[in-house]
Amino acid sequence: MALNLTPNIPDPDGFYDELLAAHDGLTEDESDALNARLILLLANHIGDREVLRTALDAARSGKR
């Protein structure tokens, strides 16, 4: 499996709104913890270490 960097989320603005809403009312620490849990859940869903490594590299370098 290769990392898909092509936009692939139907209604990305709607998803972004949901993501922001999930953080409503949280402290900065709680928001950081939510982000960490979400990352780990999605990483577990992907499950492929090479894809995850590529995603980490892309995120660190600012690629989209």
Between CA 64 and CA 62 the distance in angstroms is: 7
- Cα first-last separation, the chain: 17
pLDDT tens for 19-47 read 999 999 999 999 999 999 999 999 999 99
Report helix angle 49-61 to 28-46, nearest 10.
140
Question: Beta-carbon neighbour count of residue 55 at 10 Å?
Answer: 19
CA–chain centroid gap for 36, Å, is: 9
Mean residue pLDDT across the chain: 96
pTM: 0.86
Look-up of token digits 């660190």: 60
